[in-house]
């Protein structure tokens, strides 16, 4: 890819920028990445602090946390950080104090996993806006919707108390708020479904109630620019959602895509079937030829959209044109020249990356010194499966011996 920006204008990638009053030292942000470092009550261990320290010392412009749960019913993993426990808030305060010592802003991503929650982690029935074939969950009652709104508002208040520089409300990837705004996943015929405005109502109420509690505290959102599924979110619909977000006081938008049902749409690359087999006790005991057969079936059955790089660019550009608030691009960003083109030509205020930071927490320093101009990540996606049971790490396409 040829770098398009005018070299004489200078490189803005490594210059500070401000978003909603938060000063970021550069424009390369660690996008939300599930770390899998918490106990059953959602209390993070010291390993989380060490990971964030490594990112800060590695030059990251800012960190968006892996999703943090706002309520027990929305848990998708037993090792998910939760922000509804007083003891957890105190631990997160220490983390934030250290990050601020290092000059690195951290934004808490708050989430309810909706139909993608897991009953064995939540220890209660799973709910979603509607009962559909994408997941096993019952339709939420109106009372439960109002309860979730309060959970998000309390989560935002708790994040502010813990010292986070801001909050990112997760409304993408097929989780609860994403399910509400998606015409595919929200089939309700009451005031919470139907029109774009009705499907957006839950998000609107979260913002309105939160603003009364936390004032101008920075609130950004992660949205699906599109859903590559029948009747899913279109770019045109995401533009409408983005305009509604701006109207309710959203400070910035990070544009992603997809859901669990959409397979490898959100995080592209290889289908990590070997890691899936290794993590499953029954599959792992099968003969090798059977495991390979599982791999063949997985590669055929799991949707693998193209391209693998910059796959949210079109949707993010459309959203940027539709609103006057900052837009951040995520998805398949692997090269410094791509980032320079995006930032120096003012396409977006910042970029965010996930997997490159797993293998190289110091990738920003390497980019800055030109020691490296491309991430070493091979997009094997073993990390995405491994963090369901163990703390986040790079496996570089190799199944752990202890699991094989």
CA angle (261, 109, 347) in 5-degree steps: 80
Helices within 131-221 (DSSP H only): 142-162, 176-181, 196-214
Please tell me the distance from the alpha carbon of residue 386 to that of residue 278, in angstroms, as a whole number. 9
Q: Is the pLDDT of residue 213 over 60?
A: yes
Structure confidence at residue 389 (pLDDT): 87
What pLDDT digit, counting tens, does each position of 354-394 carry?
999 999 999 999 999 999 999 999 999 999 999 988 999 99
Where are the strands (E) in 336-383, listed by range?
Answer: 350-353
Please tell me the distance from the alpha carbon of residue 383 to that of residue 140, in angstroms, as a whole number. 32
Domains in the chain: boundaries: 7-269+306-373, 270-303+378-404
CATH of domain 7-269+306-373: 3.20.20.70
What pLDDT digit, counting tens, does each position of 146-198 carry?
999 999 999 999 999 999 999 999 999 999 999 999 999 999 999 999 999 99
Structure confidence at residue 388 (pLDDT): 87
Written as six digits, the tokens of 379 are 């997009």
Strands 62-64 and 28-30: parallel
Mean pLDDT of the 99-117 span: 97
Least confident of 3-12, 80-89, 259-268, 293-302: 3-12
Structure confidence at residue 10 (pLDDT): 67
Mean pLDDT of the 279-292 span: 83
Mean pLDDT of the 100-106 span: 98
Q: Is the pLDDT of residue 8 over 80?
A: no
pTM equals 0.95
Written as six digits, the tokens of 139 are 């339709």
What pLDDT digit, counting tens, does each position of 286-332 carry?
888 888 888 888 888 899 999 999 999 999 999 999 999 999 999 99
Residue 285 confidence class, pLDDT cut points 50, 70, 90: confident
Structure confidence at residue 290 (pLDDT): 82
What pLDDT digit, counting tens, does each position of 216-230 carry?
999 999 999 999 999
Backbone dihedral angles phi then psi of residue 337, each to the nearest 5 degrees: -65, -30
Between residues 400 and 317, which one has the greater pLDDT? 317
Structure confidence at residue 287 (pLDDT): 87
Q: Is the pLDDT of residue 402 over 80?
A: no
DSSP SS3 for 166 = strand
What pLDDT digit, counting tens, does each position of 44-101 carry?
999 999 999 999 999 999 999 999 999 999 999 999 999 998 999 999 999 999 999 9
- The full 3-state SS of 298-331, as one line of letters, equals HHHHCCCCCCCCCCCHHHHHHHHHHCCCCEEEEC
């Amino acid at each position: 890819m040829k770098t398009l920006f005018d070299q004489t204008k200078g490189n803005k990638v490594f210059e500070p920028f401000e978003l909603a009053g938060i000063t970021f030292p550069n424009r390369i942000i660690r996008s939300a990445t599930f770390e899998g470092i918490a106990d059953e009550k959602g209390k993070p261990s010291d390993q989380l602090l060490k990971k964030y320290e490594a990112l800060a010392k590695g030059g990251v412009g800012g960190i968006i946390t892996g999703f943090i749960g706002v309520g027990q019913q929305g848990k998708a993993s037993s090792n998910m950080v939760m922000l509804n426990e007083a003891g957890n808030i105190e631990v997160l305060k220490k983390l934030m104090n250290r990050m601020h010592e290092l000059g690195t802003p951290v934004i808490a991503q708050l989430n309810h996993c909706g139909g993608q929650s897991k009953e064995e982690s939540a220890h209660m029935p799973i709910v979603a806006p509607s009962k559909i074939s994408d997941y096993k969950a019952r339709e939420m009652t109106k009372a439960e919707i109002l309860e979730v709104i309060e959970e998000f508002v309390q989560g935002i208040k708790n994040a502010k108390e813990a010292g986070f520089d801001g909050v990112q409300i997760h409304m993408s990837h097929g989780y609860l708020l994403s399910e509400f705004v998606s015409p595919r996943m929200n089939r309700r015929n009451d005031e919470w479904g139907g029109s774009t405005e009705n499907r957006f109502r839950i998000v609107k109420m979260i913002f309105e109630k939160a603003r009364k509690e936390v004032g101008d505290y920075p609130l950004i959102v992660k949205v699906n620019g599109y859903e590559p599924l029948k009747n899913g979110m279109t770019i045109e619909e995401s533009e409408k959602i983005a305009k509604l977000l701006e109207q309710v006081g959203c400070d910035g938008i990070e544009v992603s895509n997809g859901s669990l049902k959409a397979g490898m749409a959100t995080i592209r690359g290889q289908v990590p079937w070997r890691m899936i087999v290794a993590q499953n006790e029954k599959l792992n005991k099968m003969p090798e030829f059977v495991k390979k057969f599982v791999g063949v079936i997985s590669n055929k059955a799991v949707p693998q959209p193209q391209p693998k790089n910059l796959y949210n660019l079109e949707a993010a550009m459309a959203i940027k044109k539709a609103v006057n608030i900052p837009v951040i691009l995520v998805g398949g960003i692997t090269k410094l020249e791509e980032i320079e083109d995006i930032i120096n030509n003012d396409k977006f205020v910042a970029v965010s990356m996930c997997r490159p930071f797993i293998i190289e927490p110091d990738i920003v320093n390497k980019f800055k010194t030109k020691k490296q101009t491309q991430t070493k990540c091979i997009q094997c996606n073993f990390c995405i499966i491994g963090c369901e049971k163990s703390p986040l790490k790079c496996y570089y396409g190799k199944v752990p011996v202890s699991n094989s």
